[in-house]
Amino acid sequence: MSSSVNELVHWDAARLSEALVARVVSSEEVTQAHLDRIAAVDGPAETGVHAFLHVAAESALARAREVDADRAKGAVLGPLAGVPIGVKDVLTTRGMPTTCGSRMLEGWVPPYDATVVRELHAAGLVVLGKTNMDEFAMGSTTEHSAYGPTRNPWDATRVPGGSGGGSAAALAAFEAPLTVGSDTGGSIRQPAALTGTVGVKPTYGGVSRYGLVALASSLDQAGPCARTVLDTALLHAVIAGHDPYDSTSIPADVPDVVGAARQGASGDLTGVRVGVVEELSGEGYEAGVTARFTEAVALLREAGAEVVELSLPNLVHALAAYYLILPSEASSNLAKFDGMRYGLRVTPEGEHVTAEQVMRATRAAGFGDEAKRRIILGTYALSAGYYDAYYGSAQKVRTLVQRDFARAFGQVDVLVSPTAPTTAYRLGEKLDDPLAMYAGDVATIPANLAGIPGMSLPAGLSDDGLPVGLQVLAPQQADDRLYRVGAAVEARLTAQWGGSLLSQVPEWKGVPA
């Protein structure tokens, strides 16, 4: 990092929180430091990190001043009040553009806030802007954004993962200490792995989906992203909880994720039973990924955990089931983009143009290739004659995957695997080979099918110098276990490394000429 960089952007949210409470720094200073950092590294779209699709400098500074004023008056504020945050562009923000990375919603300004966004405002967080993503969260590289890819801060020629590549890259490039993502098949965890950051997909229903533009309603889950396990927990606590506006939201208390993260930071996991998932290793996993994973498992043993290998045989069918269920739900959810009520409308030339012609022209122009592929695939899987063989069978696989997890969690407290089989791809490497891109989600997808929570945290660097992620999975509504185990691993690894993995990220120089 160059000496001209304001130190504040390197602070994690917990440290910023303490300094804000002690009034050592103001939210305005912290917010301005991050806006300056964004201005320095994020653009231009062609060569910068390009983690943000929209930066709301004015409203962020105004909000920061409000929080500072409230604090000066002695108001009791939440622990993250005054801390800046980036929000994935799939969550609606009143008065701030929301595009979902699609031309279909270019320039659209939603008339309401997502519940998650409302929670952020209520907790005093300062929204810096909206982060880049694959179109409607369909993709694993962020190259399917209609507004151009996000670049990996570790190597500008590599992808940051996806679909939430913007939320992950913003953290790794020190543009924001916290971001919100959404995870339908790994869109929080896989980018976290590829950028050396932390991301959690909470239990399905643990965080409200109201205002989260739907991709696959039975799989989608918004969640917290940060640079440390504790920061991730602090944000998790802000956004989680029952929401009457989302009827699939769980009407139960949120597990004490912050307490669990603090407990885990001691590095002691005595009595914790950990299962290594046999099906999520071996063939297809790069040697450098396997090496870091094996070391992490050894570390869990050193921490006092009891580690066993477990087989979840139906996980081998999870990827196939997912790529039927997701397109099926997506084709239905994306039917609402019809050019009638909001977003793009393309009217073909000619007299007596009908609504149907407008819809077809609008959807042809508004959706990118990956969105079209999945809509067509979903339409096929749901059509008469194929429904039983494809969608019907995929739903049965889902049952088998859930049973495998239920059996496993009868024996262990958490399961672990590598988050992704490889480190970050080169930009363009998988663009014309959708199947190869889909295979990158093999380890993250099972959690979405089963509705269980999952975390990715940094496990080290592979031989190519790129980050590797460790995935931790827990039973539904036991999200706290992720934080205890994750914090223990993090504490031991950072002690080994002599600092966080991200302290090794090279200074951003942009795309090489």
Partner 1 sequence: MSVISRSEVEHLARLARIDMSDEELDRMAGQLGAVLDAVAQVSSAVTEDVPATSHPVPLVNVTRPDVVRPGLSAADALAGAPASEDGRFRVPQILEEDA
- Which residues are tagged catalytic? 88, 163, 187
Single-letter amino acid, residue 119: E
Per the listing, tokens 């622990």 go with 79
Binding positions for partner 1, 280-309, rule CB under 8 A: none
CB 150 to partner 1: min, Å: 24
x/- mask, partner 1, residues 204-223, rule CB under 8 A, reads xx------------xx----
Query: CA-based angle 245:186:452, to the nearest 5?
Result: 60
Binding positions for partner 1, 467-496, rule CB under 8 A: 476
- 394 touches partner 1 (CB under 8 A): yes
What sign does the CA torsion over 64, 70, 73, 78 have? negative
- Packing angle of the helix pair 287-302, 479-497 (nearest 10 deg): 100
Query: CA-based angle 284:185:84, to the nearest 5?
Result: 115
Per the listing, tokens 């063939």 go with 283
CB 87 to partner 1: min, Å: 19
- 414 touches partner 1 (CB under 8 A): no
Residue 63 near residue 127, CB atoms below 8 Å: yes
Question: How far apart, in whole angstroms, are the C-alpha atoms of residue 107 and residue 92?
Answer: 13
- 358 touches partner 1 (CB under 8 A): yes
Per the listing, tokens 């300004």 go with 109
Q: Which residue in 363, 430, 481, 492 binds partner 1 (CB under 8 A)?
A: 363
Residue 260: which H helix or E strand, with range? helix 257-264
> If DSSP states are collapsed to H, E and C, what string results for 432-467?
CCHHHHHHCCCCCHHHHHHCCCEEEEEEEECCCCCE
Which span (38-46, 57-65, 183-191, 374-382) binds partner 1, by CB under 8 A?
Answer: 374-382
Question: How far apart, in whole angstroms, are the C-alpha atoms of residue 17 and residue 369?
Answer: 43
Which span (57-65, 258-266, 301-309, 377-385) binds partner 1, by CB under 8 A?
Answer: 377-385
- 445 touches partner 1 (CB under 8 A): no
Q: Which residue in 377, 443, 474, 488 binds partner 1 (CB under 8 A)?
A: 377
Q: Which residue in 248, 294, 494, 504 binds partner 1 (CB under 8 A)?
A: 248
**What is the bridge-based pairing of β-strands 414-418 and 273-277?**
parallel
Q: Which residue in 47, 157, 379, 504 binds partner 1 (CB under 8 A)?
A: 379
- 409 touches partner 1 (CB under 8 A): no
Which span (160-168, 273-281, 396-404, 419-427) binds partner 1, by CB under 8 A?
Answer: 396-404
- 247 touches partner 1 (CB under 8 A): yes
How distant is the alpha carbon of residue 469 from its chain centre? 13
Looking at the Cβ atoms of 92 and 462, the one nearer to partner 1 is 92
Q: Which residue in 1, 355, 406, 511 binds partner 1 (CB under 8 A)?
A: 355
Which span (3-11, 76-84, 150-158, 368-376) binds partner 1, by CB under 8 A?
Answer: 368-376
| Burial annotation 53-88 (CB, 10 A radius, 16+ → b, else e) | bbbbbeebbebbeebbebbeeeeebbbbbbbbbbbb
Looking at the Cβ atoms of 43 and 97, the one nearer to partner 1 is 97
Looking at the Cβ atoms of 11 and 323, the one nearer to partner 1 is 323
CB 353 to partner 1: min, Å: 6
Q: DSSP label at 505? A: P
Looking at the Cβ atoms of 79 and 339, the one nearer to partner 1 is 339
CB 126 to partner 1: min, Å: 25
- Packing angle of the helix pair 13-21, 229-239 (nearest 10 deg): 70
Quote the tokens at residue 398.
Answer: 């889902």
- 407 touches partner 1 (CB under 8 A): no
- 398 touches partner 1 (CB under 8 A): yes
CB 383 to partner 1: min, Å: 7
Q: Measuring CA to CA, how many Å separate 3 from each of 6, 7, 37, 507?
A: 8, 9, 13, 11
Quote the tokens at residue 409.
Answer: 């969690």
CB 436 to partner 1: min, Å: 10
Which span (82-90, 261-269, 450-458, 504-512) binds partner 1, by CB under 8 A?
Answer: 450-458
Q: Which residue in 317, 430, 481, 492 binds partner 1 (CB under 8 A)?
A: 317
- 347 touches partner 1 (CB under 8 A): yes
Which span (1-9, 56-64, 69-77, 340-348) binds partner 1, by CB under 8 A?
Answer: 340-348
Which span (47-55, 361-369, 462-470, 480-488) binds partner 1, by CB under 8 A?
Answer: 361-369
Rg (CA), the chain: 22
Binding positions for partner 1, 133-192, rule CB under 8 A: none
DSSP string, 313-351: GGGGGHHHHHHHHHHHHHHHHGGG-SSSSSS-----SSS
Per the listing, tokens 């109201």 go with 210
Neighbours of 3 (CB within 10 A): 5
CB 376 to partner 1: min, Å: 5
CB 260 to partner 1: min, Å: 22
Single-letter amino acid, residue 147: Y
Q: Which residue in 291, 307, 320, 491 binds partner 1 (CB under 8 A)?
A: 320
- 400 touches partner 1 (CB under 8 A): yes
